[in-house]
Every structure is written in C-alpha cells, then in structure tokens.
Amino acid sequence: MKKYKSTIISSSIVVTLFTIFIKVLGIVKHSVIASKIGATIQTDAFYIATGVIGQLAITIFSALSVTLLTFYTDKKEQESKKTANDLINSALIFFVPIACMISIVFFTFAPYISKLLAPSYMGESLKLLTRYVRVMSFAFIPCCYNIILNVILENEKIFTPGRSRGFFQNLFVILAVLLLFNSFEMISVVYAFLGASLIQSIVITICSTKYFKFNIPKNKCFYEIKQIFMVSIPLIIGNTVYEINDIVDKQIATNIGEGSASILTYGATLNEIVTGVIVASISVVLFANFATWISKKEFDKIENSFIVVMNALIMIIVPIFVMCLVSGKEIVTLFYGHGQLSNDKLDDINMVLIGYAVGFVFQAFRANLIKILYAFKDTKATMINGIISIVFNIILSVILSKMIGIWGISLATSLAIFVATLLLYISVKKYLPDLSIVKIIDGYHKYIFAGLLSYVLVYLLHSFICFNYFINLCIEGFVCLIIYILVLIMLKSNGINYLIKKTRII
C-alpha cells in the first residue's frame, strides 16, 4: 500500500511541477498576446482556430490512446513486450493515415468550417479565420503520432514528454509574437503553434526508443485494433460532444462582441492553472496505475487511491477558490493588466474566472471519476454522461449569457460539470460498489469551514488595504493561507496532519 501511494505521489509531483512550469509559461504567452495585441478580431480568430481545431485533434486521438493504453498494458502484462510492441506499430499503421485524411477534409472545407465556428464573421474576418483553420488542419497528423507513441511512455510511468507539447507551443508563440508579429502578423503565430507539435514528435520519438522499435509487424493485431476502434467510438463521440460545447461557447462569445472570444480564453487560461496543473497532472498518473491495477484485479487500491487523492485535491482547491472570489481582479490584473486591455475587459475576465472557479471541486471529481471508467474500458457511460451534461451546458450558456453576459458562459460550464460529476459517480458505483459518498467526503466539512472563515476574514482585509494590486494580492494570499492552515490544524484535519508529517520527514 505504502509503495504504490509513494509511486503515485512522486510521479504526481514530477508531473505537477513540470505542468506548473508549462502553465506559468502559458500565462506568460497569453499576457504577451494581451499586452502586444489586446483582444481583437485577430486574437479571436487565432484562439478559435488554434483552440477548437487543436483541441479537436487531441480530443479524437486521446480517446483512442485511452483505450490503447489498457490494451497495451494487458498485452505487456499477460503476453509479452513483443506483442505489445506490435500493437503500437499496428496502431500507427492504421490511425496515422486516418489522421491524414481528416487533415485533407479540414483543409478542403476550411471556409465552411470557419463559418460554422464563427457564424457572425463576414468578409475579411471570415477569410482570416479560414486561413488560420487551413494551417491548423495539419495538426491532426503529429497529434495522432504523438499520442499513440506516448502510450508506451505512460505505461512506463514516464509522463513528462507527453506534456511537452504545451511547453513548445507556449515558447514558440511567445517568440513569434515578440519577433515575427510586426512583420508577418498573426499568421506567424499560428504557424508557431503548429510547429510545436512537430518538435514534440521528435522528443517523444527519442524518449520512446528505449522501450519501442519501429517495424511492420507480421502480426498486425487487426483484431485488437478493431476492438480498440470500436471501444473508442463512444469515447470519441463523448469527447467530440465536449468539443462541440467549446465551439458553441465561442460562437456565443463572438455574438456578444469583438474581443469576447479572447476574453473567454484569457479567463479559461487562469482556470486551467487549477484544472491543468493540479487536477489533470494527478489524474494522468492515476489512470496509468488504474489500468495496471484493473489488469491485476486489485480493485481495493483504486478505491483507496481515489479517496486519498480527492481528499488532497479538495484541501488544495478550497483556498484557491477563496482567493479567486476575493482577489480575482488582482490576479487578472497581474497577468493581463499591462498593455492593450481596458479596465472593463479586465473586469470581464475576472467574472469569467469566478464562473469557472465555482466548478473547481467538481472538475477534480469529474477528471478522476472519468479515469476510473476509462480504466474499466467503459467508454459508453462516459459518452452518455457527457452528452447529457453538455446539452445542459449549451442550454445554460445561451440563457445565462443573455442574462449576465460573458461570465454566464463560464458559470454554465461549472454547473454542467456538477451534473456530470453526479452522473459519473453513479456509473462508477457499478464497478466499485464499496466506494460510498460517506467515505469520499469524510473530513470535507473541515475544509469548508476553514474556507468560509478564510473568505470572511480576507474579504474584510480586502476592504481596508489599499496598496498596489501586487502587494494587495500577496498580503491577501498569505493571510488566506495562514488562516486556512491554522483552522485545519485546530480542527485536526487528517489531510493537513498528513502533510505536516510528510514535511517533517523531508
């Protein structure tokens, strides 16, 4: 028990630290864009093309990789490394040509796809988006290759190369904005975004050579590939529905006004610090372990790990949520308050951030519950749950955006994630009947109480201090953290006691 917990913790720390670095670089990227260019038609078109097309490529092929990882793990554990190697080669032979065909379709029909993505765009703005979509259409090919090959590394519990795409994208975009934008405008930034995937292909290829050999296998594993494809279809549909939701959100944002899609993206970037750094990093590590434990039928380890990890996540997320509520404007100003963005747009980004913050806890639960279902190869349940929650999200986005503006879109997303979490928990109970709500939320009341007390005191402090935004943010963050930790210590929270013990050991 101690060994696998230690493995998860150490792997999670490595992935989390690397992800923190990437996300910080990502914020720098968006800050540079906001400062240099602002929130314009050009930035809107850039975020629509790179966000939707880039994410769609990841959505399709990550769905395949989730299923492929479980099949690869089974073959390696129950048969041999050679048959597992043949499976990966067969997957490359089968799926990379499919990625090429998808790229051709998107390149050919880029004008129609652009109109679908931004119905309000006409004339030059539509031509601009079409040009960006055509460049991004080639993203499907390296994305397919990278995700399939990364299955090998994740099985070996090597998670950093698979997350290097974000590093290269952020770095290349920053350099393009600073060095190329004045001469070549936004198209240079789009090319830089695409080029990052090609560099990641080189990195993943080099890292995987120790565990994998490229060849044309005699046994092309067509039966397994067919199974992987069939099992992945519900997952692809479910993930595509999530992508449709993102498309609808951006459509709604473009109808609100110029720059609104960029504002939504800037707010979502701050949200991704929590979901991408803390939640996603841990869930990636957990999934690789879930697949191994299920293969060995060690279901008790899944339950215990899920409870321990969720307890740690909630303990971390609560003070972050408090800071978003009280000091959201200071956080937004720190990253985006330099250059072309007006104070009104900073206020809009702050409200978008608060809308996403409402769903921090639910995002943590959803990410890890989904991984359990993936590990059990149940993609149908995730598809059905995803469709229900996304339909709910789209309806709420339309209604709330008309009532309260752009932050209604992010609030609708959080409410929909709450619905998805409930549905996913019901589905997981079929496989882990002993995983009860009582076990999961044991001790959460202490986090809630500590969070409420921190909120009240920091809010009062916020009303009195009047330094510049950076000093205010530092003071409020320090006070919030100290109050939160002290209250948890007085309440004898298991989570904080465990953290203190680990700190003493270190």
What does the alpha-carbon distance between residue 61 and residue 53 come to, in Å, rounded to a whole number? Answer: 13
Does residue 108 register a pLDDT over 90? yes
The two three-digit tokens of residue 302, written as one number: 């899944």
First vs last C-alpha separation in the chain = 20
Does residue 450 register a pLDDT over 60? yes
Segment (H or E) for 441? none
Amino acid at 257: G
Comparing 108 with 161, which gets the higher pLDDT?
108
Residue 168's pLDDT is: 92
Q: Which of 264-268, 340-344, 446-450 has the highest mean pLDDT?
A: 446-450
What does the alpha-carbon distance between residue 53 and residue 59 come to, in Å, rounded to a whole number? Answer: 10
Q: Once rounded to an integer, what is the mean pLDDT over residues 258-283?
A: 75
Q: Once rounded to an integer, what is the mean pLDDT over residues 293-317?
A: 76
Q: Would you kindly state where each structural domain of the chain is located, as residue ranges?
A: 2-432
Classified as helix, coil or strand, 121 is coil
Task: Kindly state the percentage of the chain with pLDDT values over 90.
Answer: 27
CA-nearest of 250, 289, 245 to 416 is: 245
Does residue 117 register a pLDDT over 80? yes
For 442, left (φ over 0), alpha (ψ -120 to 50), or beta? beta
Q: Crossing angle, helix 343-357 and helix 299-336, to 10 degrees? A: 170
pLDDT tens readout for residues 477-498: 999 999 999 999 888 887 676 6
Residue 314's pLDDT is: 86
What does the alpha-carbon distance between residue 19 and residue 230 come to, in Å, rounded to a whole number? Answer: 32
pLDDT tens readout for residues 361-387: 888 888 888 878 877 777 778 778 878
The two three-digit tokens of residue 309, written as one number: 């990890």
Least confident of 78-82, 127-131, 438-442: 438-442
10 Å Cβ neighbour count for 217? Answer: 16
How far is the CA of 11 from the CAs of 4, 293, 430, 463, in angstroms? 10, 16, 29, 41
Alpha-carbon dihedral of residues 18, 24, 26, 32, nearest 10 degrees?
Answer: -150
pLDDT tens readout for residues 4-50: 444 555 555 666 677 778 878 888 898 898 888 887 888 889 988 99
pTM to 2 decimal places: 0.70
10 Å Cβ neighbour count for 161? Answer: 20
Are the C-beta atoms of residues 439 and 383 closer than 8 Å to each other? Answer: no
Q: How confident is the model at residue 505 (pLDDT cuts 50, 70, 90)?
A: very low
Residue 158's pLDDT is: 79
Residue 492's pLDDT is: 82
CA-nearest of 59, 138, 51 to 99 is: 138
Residues 6+ positions from 367 with CB-CB distance below 8 Å: 275, 279, 280, 283
The DSSP line for 378-391 is -HHHHHHHHHHHHH
Classified as helix, coil or strand, 158 is coil
Average per-residue pLDDT for the chain: 83
| Strand boundaries in 358-454, DSSP class E | none
Q: Once rounded to an integer, what is the mean pLDDT over residues 97-116?
A: 94
What does the alpha-carbon distance between residue 33 and residue 134 come to, in Å, rounded to a whole number? Answer: 22
Segment (H or E) for 37? none
Residues 6+ positions from 76 with CB-CB distance below 8 Å: 83, 84, 155
Does residue 412 register a pLDDT over 50? yes
The two three-digit tokens of residue 64, written as one number: 């395949």
Q: Crossing angle, helix 299-336 and helix 494-505, to 10 degrees? A: 80
Residues 6+ positions from 255 with CB-CB distance below 8 Å: 119, 120
Are the C-beta atoms of residues 164 and 19 closer than 8 Å to each other? Answer: no
Are the C-beta atoms of residues 287 and 72 closer than 8 Å to each other? Answer: no
